[in-house]
Amino acid sequence: MVQLLGVVVGLLSGTHTATWGMYKDAPHEGFRRYHRSIITAAVIGPLIVTLVPRPWVSAGGLALLFGLIYICERGATEFYKSFIRHEDQSKYFIPMEFHVFGRVVPPGPFRMAAAAGYAVVFISAGIGLQLAAGWNPGIPRWLAFGLLGSTVGWLIACGGAFKDAPIEGFEWLKFFRSPVIAGIWAALLSPFTGSYLLAALAGAGYSVATIETYKTFFFPHRPRGKFAGKPVAFPEYLRTRQRFVPLYAGIWLIVLGTLVLAHAFG
């Protein structure tokens, strides 16, 4: 039952991610990758509920699970694209593979060392958050979760700046956006878990969902940074992608409704 629930929430999370990704990318690279995030998230969901025993069958548990699946899928996919996948990068304005100041590091020992370094940083942060369990800093609980919950957001901001800033410039507002929004979401999720680690991860997942929704649907005609200045190769998808907007909005309504119920009824 719980594993099936993990699959269902994973499908919702993966479809949400796949839809904003397709909406921005399909005019440039077609529709062929829409299924990737959906399948990945559907696998991650049952793994989380199996490896992390807790009362998932509740409104608060489901709200937390959605964010956890979201960030785990994003982390796995971005790690794959940066360090494992190797493809022609000429179609991108900002390379998707691991690069230093715009120069792609070819597959080999240096790239694997960088991948190991990235993994060590995130694992170390996770261990630190886990060790902080039960820590009472003498401030309101929601504030403590907000401050520590921004940790993963800070790591995302630093990684994004390292990848994007040398090519498109450094933006202070953009840099602080992820940790601030991740911290707010972690504070909102704090009633549903006593773990700083789970709140930080789920908060980062909701942060990605929030920021990508804003960038994608409030500025629909602005291409993603990686395709800046590149021609639209599949103009037919400018119309086709509109059909997915109700699906995307529907998932947001389900998630936000679940979160409201969780806060209203504990």
> Can you tell me whether residue 100 is helix, strand or coil?
strand
Whole-angstrom distance, CA of residue 203 vs CA of residue 197: 10
Residue 14 clears pLDDT 70, i.e. is over it: yes
Compute φ and ψ for 100, nearest 5 degrees.
Answer: -120, 115
Domain boundaries, given as residue ranges, for the chain: 2-265
Whole-angstrom distance, CA of residue 49 vs CA of residue 251: 20
Q: Which residues of 69-98 are buried (b: 16+ CB within 10 A; e: fewer)?
A: bbbbbbbebbbeebbeeeeeeeebbbbbbb
> Can you tell me whether residue 67 is helix, strand or coil?
helix
Which residues are CB-contacts of 8 (< 8 A; sequence separation ≥ 6)? Answer: 45
Give the residue with greater pLDDT, 88 vs 206. Answer: 206
Compute φ and ψ for 220, nearest 5 degrees.
Answer: -65, -20
Residue 224 clears pLDDT 80, i.e. is over it: no
What are the pLDDT digits (tens) for 242-253?
999 999 999 999
Question: Is 173 buried (19+), middle (13-18) or exposed (0-12) by CB count in 10 A?
Answer: exposed
Lowest mean pLDDT among 25-29, 59-63, 126-130: 25-29
- Over pLDDT 90: what percentage of the chain? 73
Model-wide pTM > 0.85: yes
What are the pLDDT digits (tens) for 174-187?
899 999 999 999 99
Two structure tokens written together for 108: 């080999």
